């Protein structure tokens, strides 16, 4: 179900810049939103770390490392990162918005792909990873969810959140990070992550594109991890008969369980891919896979997860002295070999690794089926199998095979991520302990819920917001502008426009009228009665400030107005008037008998202007005979005091 309506970030402006319009994806560590950069007026993707993880310094550091790493990768097949920052408890990345879908969406919809289509996707992916490897980074979480296919056909690699320097050995105590279906054996065993783990993951993704299914599956992460360690990826032709043997060899080369037998990085694998493409004819490249082959998978297996080391075992030592991962210089030195790409090695079975008993014990521990527990509960309890992402019919068959019954009537709900007709939930949840023959209720996806944006032109703002909510949309940011045609407070238009189809819960921005513009008249110096009449005649509202000020205006007249004369306001806007208390009265100094210079200085220092009245008898005098306002009396500050001179 689309829960955008309940998402607290939708409709908000993050960091004073990014307006969050809609939620488009939720992952294990972050949520991705479509947003608008209000400074540059461009749509982008905003990746916001889950607040619970934002409190963990190591996760925040990894998140910020993504921004710095990808910002250094100027490549057309890498999703560009524009900015990184924090806003309160939110840590975010601002990234390029790619309109389109993921490779996972394509596999869900179409299942197995033609070899040509699979190679057309794989090549730009390897080009992007090759750029990363040359820059000294490893992606570590390659999977179909991180391959974006734009509406224009461009292929881009996203989510470099797990990147590490090539010469860094990742060995997180007690855990490893990644997606179980695409983890290389050395990642599982000891956390080693050099470019060859990306090569392995690309081999698994390529197998999935050719067959429509993952090479290793199981009811739990432990089972999948065990198979990565102890079973080779089978040849794609075992699932899709008729595929050229060159494709089998390519998959075998990329997914060799021993790292030294794989291409040393994505650049080397890309050379092999191009070599294989050149060997195949048009008929082989365009061969249609059987329609029955579809991509069945469990969403939980596709999430980036922190996986307990208890699922892994101490391995046979991998040759750590191999200099193919010595660093960036070594990667650059190898590029000269591209003119003669390394031949595809013959498919060889790796010898079984030691620690088999330990692995089985760990698997049993994780599954919660120790021998004693199994014996006591045998025939009484079972677990709800994982059926998410499967068709309703297949899910019911799997429930029956597990000794359970599907409820007679399934529930239905909308989903932006799961195709219509597929299972999006069960009650009880997958993995829940349940008695044999109990009933499980399935929830089936009705696909994404879409809503047509209503025409809100001329509708009052409060009513427009209510209509959007009633239609299943969210009121978004409100901006206002003058309009001679739409009444003040009513909607001029929406973004997106009326009639546009959007997912339920999407935020709709509203443009609201401020009414016709009004020129504010000058009412300073007028009586309050006259000023009020002039402003109301112009369509404005009057408010009188509680505080009065001294001014040259008479007491009770308007000394100040806000906004000022000539400002453009909307009809009904408020103009605040500040009334005058009259001029400030100050004491006049007594200067009779003083010299002209002393008298002038004393009066000016007190805040008065001075006028000298010499007359005929005082032309040559220098003593003040009298003053217009006697000393000790008060006069308005700034007024003129006349002095007679003799």
Active-site amino acid positions: 141
- Which tokens sit at 78? 């890498």
Give the Cα separation of 347 and 4 in Å (integer): 49
Confirm if 274 and 130 have CB atoms less than 8 A apart: no
Q: Is 479 helix (H, G, I), strand (E, B) or coil?
A: strand
**Rounded (5°) CA angle 354-355-360:** 135
Specify burial of residue 26 (Cβ count, 10 A radius: 0-12, 13-18, 19+). middle
- Specify the long-range contacts of residues 184-191, CB closer than 8 Å, at least 24 apart: 184/228, 184/259, 185/228, 185/229, 185/257, 185/315, 186/259, 186/315, 186/318, 187/140, 188/225, 188/228, 188/229, 188/311, 188/312, 189/229, 189/312, 189/313, 189/314, 189/315, 189/318, 190/315, 190/318
Confirm if 456 and 500 have CB atoms less than 8 A apart: no
Q: Is 506 helix (H, G, I), strand (E, B) or coil?
A: coil
Q: Three-class SS string for 537-581?
A: HCCCEEEECCCCECCCCCCCEEEEEECCCCCEEECCCEEEEEEEC
Name residues whose C-beta falls within 8 Å of residue 581's C-beta, 6 or more positions apart in sequence: 548, 549, 550, 551, 555
Residue entry with tokens 């000298």: 612
Give the bridge partners for 22, in sequence order.
34
- Which tokens sit at 196? 């060859």
Q: Is 439 helix (H, G, I), strand (E, B) or coil?
A: strand
Confirm if 263 and 344 have CB atoms less than 8 A apart: no
Give the Cα separation of 122 and 128 in Å (integer): 10
- Which tokens sit at 441? 């209720």
Name residues whose C-beta falls within 8 Å of residue 639's C-beta, 6 or more positions apart in sequence: 583, 608, 609
Name residues whose C-beta falls within 8 Å of residue 266's C-beta, 6 or more positions apart in sequence: 126, 127, 129, 130, 132, 133, 195, 198, 199, 202
Give the Cα separation of 277 and 283 in Å (integer): 12
Confirm if 205 and 145 have CB atoms less than 8 A apart: no
What does each C-alpha distance from 324 to 53, 84, 345, 348, 407 come to in angstroms? 35, 33, 17, 21, 56
Confirm if 315 and 190 have CB atoms less than 8 A apart: yes
Give the Cα separation of 565 and 562 in Å (integer): 8
């Amino acid at each position: 179900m689309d829960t955008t309506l309940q998402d607290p970030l939708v409709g908000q402006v993050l960091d004073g810049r990014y307006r969050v319009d809609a939620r488009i994806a939720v992952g294990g560590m972050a949520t991705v939103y479509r947003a608008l950069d209000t400074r540059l007026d461009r749509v982008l993707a905003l990746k916001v770390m889950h607040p619970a993880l934002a409190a963990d310094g190591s996760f925040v550091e990894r998140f910020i490392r993504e921004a710095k790493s990808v910002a250094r990768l100027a490549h057309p097949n890498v999703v560009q990162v524009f900015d990184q920052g924090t806003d309160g408890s939110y840590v975010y990345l601002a990234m390029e918005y790619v309109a389109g879908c993921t490779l996972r969406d394509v596999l869900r919809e179409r299942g197995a792909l033609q070899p040509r289509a699979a190679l057309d996707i794989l090549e730009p992916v390897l080009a992007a990873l090759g750029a990363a490897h040359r820059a000294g980074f490893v992606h570590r979480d390659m999977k179909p969810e991180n391959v974006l296919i734009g509406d224009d056909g461009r292929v881009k690699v996203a989510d470099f959140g797990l990147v590490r320097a090539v010469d860094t050995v990742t060995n997180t105590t007690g855990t490893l990070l990644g997606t179980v279906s695409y983890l290389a054996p050395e990642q599982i065993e000891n956390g080693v992550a050099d470019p060859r783990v990306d090569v392995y993951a690309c081999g698994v993704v390529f197998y999935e594109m050719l067959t429509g299914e993952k090479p290793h599956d199981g009811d739990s992460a432990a089972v999948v991890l065990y198979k990565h360690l102890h079973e080779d990826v089978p040849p794609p032709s075992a699932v899709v008969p008729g595929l050229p043997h060159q494709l089998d060899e390519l998959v075998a080369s990329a997914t060799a369980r021993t790292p030294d037998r794989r291409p040393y990085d994505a650049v080397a694998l890309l050379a092999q891919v191009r070599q294989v493409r050149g060997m195949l004819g048009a008929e082989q490249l365009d061969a249609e896979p059987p329609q029955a082959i579809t991509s069945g998978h469990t969403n939980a297996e596709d999430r980036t997860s922190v996986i307990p080391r208890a699922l892994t075992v101490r391995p046979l030592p991998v040759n750590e002295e191999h200099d193919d991962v010595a660093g960036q210089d070594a990667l650059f030195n190898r590029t000269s070999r591209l003119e003669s790409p390394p031949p595809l090695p013959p498919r060889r079975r790796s010898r079984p690794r030691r620690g088999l008993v330990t692995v089985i014990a760990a698997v049993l521990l994780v599954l919660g089926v120790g021998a004693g527990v199994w014996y006591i509960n045998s025939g009484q309890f079972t677990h709800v199998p994982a059926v998410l992402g499967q068709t309703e019919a297949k899910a019911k068959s799997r429930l029956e095979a597990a000794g359970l019954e599907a409820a007679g009537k399934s529930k239905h709900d909308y989903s932006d991520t799961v195709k219509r007709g597929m299972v999006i939930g069960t009650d009880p949840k997958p993995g829940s302990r349940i008695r044999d023959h109990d009933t499980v209720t399935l929830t089936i996806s009705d696909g994404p819920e879409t809503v047509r944006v209503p025409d809100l032109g001329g509708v009052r703002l409060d009513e427009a917001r209510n209509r959007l909510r009633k239609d299943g949309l969210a009121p978004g940011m409100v901006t206002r502008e003058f309009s001679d045609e739409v009444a003040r407070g009513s909607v001029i238009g929406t973004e997106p426009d009326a009639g546009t189809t959007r997912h339920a819960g999407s935020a709709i921005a509203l443009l609201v009228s401020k009414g016709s513009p009004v020129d504010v008249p000058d009412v300073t110096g007028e009586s309050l009665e006259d000023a009020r009449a002039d402003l109301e005649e112009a369509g404005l509202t009057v408010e009188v400030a509680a505080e009065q000020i001294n001014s040259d205006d008479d007491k009770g007249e308007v000394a100040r107005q806000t906004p000022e004369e000539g400002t453009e306001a909307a009809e009904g806007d408020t103009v605040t008037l500040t009334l005058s208390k009259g001029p400030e009265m100050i004491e006049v100094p007594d200067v009779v008998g003083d010299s002209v210079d002393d008298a002038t200085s004393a009066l000016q220092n007190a805040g008065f202007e001075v006028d000298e009245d010499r007359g005929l008898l005082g032309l040559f005098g220098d003593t003040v005979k009298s003053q217009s306002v006697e000393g000790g009396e008060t006069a308005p500050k700034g007024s003129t005091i006349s002095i007679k001179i003799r």
